[in-house]
């Protein structure tokens, strides 16, 4: 997707060098339709420049800072030297992410999706999310719930969620905790098993975006491992799992939750 408007002064933009002159470099802006900027020779690199081609080449992808925009003259002034390495990498990554999202839009709605529908869907997503990539990422993590506030019909939302869950690699974090389960009564084994089932829960209990498993460490200790999109969600799921164990074990049983492993063997 290319924006039809104009970039803002101070905005970092991605472009391709399409012409090099003695006085500077012309850059075709990748994110804006039919927009071309000029980076004066003094803004290509720091220090005195003898030959512009020593610093850039035609066809090269560059990140530049927008210095000024004159819409009436259709002129965009750029600076390549004002972009540090961190900004360059971050901007390139965001641009690549949006290219992925553009591809996902075509997967969700077909390669022949017309510009009008594409724009309508994209604008609906951008009204709630900072980028198309973020909207697909959240749909992959949280499903249709992530798109509750988006003004799209159920069929469109379902297409986005299905595409997101098939194509988006979601970053996950992992946290681990332990519970000591003891129930020294006649049916104690059954009660411990019931407690373990309660800890594991189900998708309705723990949520589709969370992966939780329980493994035996050594009597009476069990490990709870949680994968979730972020640490706050993971920690919450871990504590909730321990609470379910405490609720399940009654009448002579005890449950103790701790974060560090206590068994003698690692």
- The token duo for 245 is 């164990």
Residue-wise DSSP of 75-111: EEEEESTT--HHHHHHHHHHHHHHHHHHHHHHHHH-T
CATH architecture of 173-258: 2-Layer Sandwich (3.30)
Entry pTM:
0.63
User: CA separation (Å) from 255 to 116, 165, 236, 242?
Assistant: 59, 37, 18, 8
Q: What CATH superfamily classification does 87-167 receive?
A: Translation initiation factor 2; subunit 1; domain 2 (1.10.150.190)
Residue 223 neighbours by CB under 8 Å, 6+ apart: 176, 177, 178, 214, 215, 216, 217, 261
Q: What is the pLDDT of residue 183?
A: 76
Instruction: Say if strands 173-182 and 12-21 run parallel, antiparallel, or are unpaired.
Output: unpaired
Q: Residue ranges per domain, the chain?
A: 12-83, 87-167, 173-258
CATH of domain 12-83: 2.40.50.140
Q: What is the pLDDT of residue 265?
A: 47
Q: What is the pLDDT of residue 195?
A: 77
Digitized pLDDT (tens) for each residue of the chain, 266 residues in all: 677 789 999 999 999 999 999 999 999 999 898 999 999 999 999 988 989 999 999 999 999 999 999 999 999 999 999 999 999 999 999 999 999 999 999 999 998 988 899 999 999 999 999 999 999 998 988 888 899 999 999 999 999 999 998 998 877 788 888 888 887 766 667 777 877 887 777 655 677 778 888 888 887 888 888 888 888 888 888 888 888 888 877 666 787 888 776 655 44
In whole angstroms, what is the distance from residue 110 CA to residue 203 CA?
31
Cα angle for residues 155, 159, 161 (degrees, 5° grid) = 115
């Amino acid at each position: 997707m290319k924006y039809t408007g104009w970039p803002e002064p101070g905005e970092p933009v991605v472009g391709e060098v399409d012409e090099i002159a003695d006085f500077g470099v012309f850059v075709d802006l990748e994110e804006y339709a039919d927009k071309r900027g000029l980076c004066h020779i003094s803004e290509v690199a720091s220090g005195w420049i003898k030959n512009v081609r020593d610093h850039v080449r035609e066809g090269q992808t560059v990140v530049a800072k927008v210095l000024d925009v004159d819409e009436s003259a259709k002129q965009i002034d750029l600076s390549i030297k004002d972009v540090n390495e961190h900004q360059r990498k971050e901007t390139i990554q965001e641009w690549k992410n949006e290219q992925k999202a553009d591809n996902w839009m075509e997967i969700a709605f077909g390669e022949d999706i017309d510009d009008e529908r594409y724009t309508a869907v994209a604008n609906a997503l951008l009204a709630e999310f900072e980028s198309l990539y973020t909207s697909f990422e959240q749909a992959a993590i949280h499903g249709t719930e992530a798109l509750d506030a988006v003004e799209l019909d159920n069929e469109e939302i379902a297409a986005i969620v299905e595409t997101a869950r098939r194509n988006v690699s979601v970053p996950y974090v992992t946290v681990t905790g332990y519970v000591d389960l003891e129930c020294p009564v006649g049916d104690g084994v059954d009660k411990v098993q019931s407690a373990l089932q309660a800890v594991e829960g189900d998708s309705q209990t723990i949520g589709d975006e969370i992966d939780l498993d329980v493994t035996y460490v050594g009597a009476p200790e069990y490990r709870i491992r949680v994968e979730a999109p972020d640490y706050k969600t993971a920690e919450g799921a871990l504590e909730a799992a321990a609470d379910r164990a405490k609720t399940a074990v009654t009448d002579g049983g005890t449950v103790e939750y701790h974060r560090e492993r206590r068994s003698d063997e690692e």
